[in-house]
Amino acid sequence: DEFDMPFLKKWVRTKHAILFRISNRTVQVVFYDRSEVLLSSEARIITFVNKLGFRTEHSLDDVLHSGRLDIAKRLKYTKDIMYRLINTQGK
């Protein structure tokens, strides 16, 4: 329902970050260096917050072809965490 307030479905703490999975299919990863990645599954938009708090939005395609190693590195880490979460559920 469009009026339901999003809620936290799952969270996990790792060596470098805390990952939050929200009920609206958004994933937020807060890294211990104060940077953040927010992934919107609907729009395929990545919001990146750097260590200084500066926020930028990018399409997934832009990030993959932009040469932004800071974002790409964090996206790869996020993917690895999510892969482990998916593959360890129910085990």
What confidence tier does 51 reach under pLDDT thresholds 50, 70, 90? very high
Q: What is the mean pLDDT of residues 69-79?
A: 91
19, pLDDT greater than 60: yes
What confidence tier does 67 reach under pLDDT thresholds 50, 70, 90? confident
DSSP strand pairing (17-22 vs 8-13): antiparallel
Q: What is the mean pLDDT of residues 66-70?
A: 85
Looking up tokens 């832009």, which residue turns up? 62
80, pLDDT greater than 70: yes
